[in-house]
Amino acid sequence: MSIADAFFMASFTVPEIIHVDPKSTLWLLPLVASISIVYKTTKIPNIKALSFLKEVVILFGSIVVFMAVSAIALCVLAWLITE
């Protein structure tokens, strides 16, 4: 096994350092992207690059916007309860 291979394998045996801060919520984005891609793949019988990309981007945007709105609503609710 070469040094590069060993380094690559080792990166899967030690967890990354991720702090509990607002920045860590950005890890949501790749997951939403993969959910959008796979979901649209199962929905479209004949995939054409442009229309597929458009559908994926629309779904991705919808999920992100909905989650952002939900987060804001929950923050406002928490603020109203605690103030």
Partner 1 sequence: MASDSKEDNVLYLMVVGLFGWLVPGGGHLIIGKNKHAIIIFVTIVLTFGIGLYIGSVGVINYVNAKPWFLAQLMNSPAVIALAQISKTGGYSVYARPSEIGQIYTSVAGLLNLLCIVNAVYWAHLRRIKTVGD
Minimum separation from the CB atom of position 77 to partner 1 (A): 23
Query: Rule CB under 8 A: which of 33-72 touch partner 1?
Result: 34-35, 37-39, 41-42, 45, 47
Minimum separation from the CB atom of position 45 to partner 1 (A): 8
Minimum separation from the CB atom of position 83 to partner 1 (A): 28
* Spatial contact of 21 and 1, defined as CB atoms under 8 Å apart: no
Q: Please list, residue by residue across 27-53, b when 16 or more beta carbons sit within 10 angstroms of its beta carbon and e when fewer do.
A: eeeeebbeebeeebeeeeeeeeeeebe
- Token code pair at residue 31: 């997951």
Query: Rule CB under 8 A: which of 1-40 touch partner 1?
Result: 11-20, 24, 27, 30-31, 34-35, 37-39
